[in-house]
Amino acid sequence: MKEPTIQEILAVVTFNRDANGRLVINDVFGYVSGSVLGNVCGNVKGNIGGCVWGSVGGDVQGGVKGTINGCKWKFVETPKEKVIRLIREGNAEEAIKVLEESK
């Protein structure tokens, strides 16, 4: 592989320094084809085609096609979400039942 120029690097990665003066990667624009051996303290706006060995401390705005702690992921609707969905679907009686059961 031809070595990248500093201009090419700065087009895909921005840097900053933390409170201790250590160099940190601020943003990555493009495709990461290898691994991130550290923490991502911001957002991932794209897809993760591999594994996350650690915790997700924020939201997942897409689907999970693998497992979480070895368990198959499945969507769980909270009572509040179910009531809202039922009202939007025009099923007020069922929404009332859910509210009464959740007391």
50 CB contacts (<8 Å, ≥6 apart)? 35
Radius of gyration of the chain (CA): 22
User: What is the average pLDDT value for the chain, to the nearest integer?
Assistant: 88
Mean pLDDT of 39-61: 82
pLDDT, residue 59, reads 79
Distance in angstroms (rounded) separating the CA atoms of residues 26 and 49: 21
pLDDT, residue 89, reads 95
Higher pLDDT, 103 or 60: 60
Annotated domain spans of the chain: 6-58+74-101
pTM: 0.56
